[in-house]
Structure 1
Amino acid sequence: MNQFPMTVAGEKALREELNELKTVRRPAIVNAIADAREHGDLKENAEYHAAREQQGFCEGRIQEIEAKLSNVQIIDVTKMPNNGRVIFGATVTIENIDTEEQVTYRIVGDDEADIKQNLISVNSPIARAMIGKEVDDAFTLTTPAKQVDYEVVEVQYI
């Protein structure tokens, strides 16, 4: 069975979503179905069909989250000694060697990835290129357009 790496924050967010789905969304959908049933003929009852569809999505998401949580490996980098190596959960500042432009990413699990917040999946090409590197190490990222050279500027376990 494969275990999926996840940060402490990612696991907490999934548990909160699961709780919300089970304690708020699921009962609301059940009530909506009960209300819609009272409107009579179910064949042409749009509210009933919409509520049943929502129920399907909700139950599917609950099953998906429970499956992920059952196979999760929580990695808390704040409890690890920072040896300067890029690992899962690390916050890494890199510099484009040509433009000297710096950017900071946090390497997270697939479910937590959000490029707008600079959270990148451990399975992304840039994260795979960085894993195992240390401060002052250089690496090349090959994109469809070109190759870009980067240098690791800082590695934080926060």
Structure 2
Amino acid sequence: MTEPPLSLVCSDCLAVNRVPNDRIDDRPICGKCQTPLLPATPIELTDRTFGKLVSRSDVPVLVDFWASWCGPCRMMAPSFAEAAAELSPGFLLAKLDTDAATQTAAQFSLSGIPTIILFRRGSEIARQTGALNTPQILQFARSNA
């Protein structure tokens, strides 16, 4: 019996795309706007895009909650980008600026930033507060997926 196709939400147009499981490694693109669905770099989320992208994506979504004024957030950014390159296409890594997306950030009662939260089909699976290096991000994602 074949597995049902995965639902992947386009970060640009928010179209829900169905991708066969055996094609996930082929770097699928959105059927509507041609944007890569599982990029090897973190995508930017907003109040408008967060809910649909996180709740409708069948791959785990790891979100970095950060702010531009936060020194540890800026220090962790290159590690998060490296982790995105290594974890794609099995994970989608995203960043949410807590100053720009205040409505979404408020929903998660963050005790500090940076905080990474792993979601599966919209449900929070795990979270970690504090700056992490690339191996720590990889281990967090893989051990909680």
**TM-score category (smaller protein):** under 0.3
Give the helix-richer structure, 1 or 2: 1
Normalised TM-score (structure 1): 0.22
> Which structure has the greater CA radius of gyration?
1
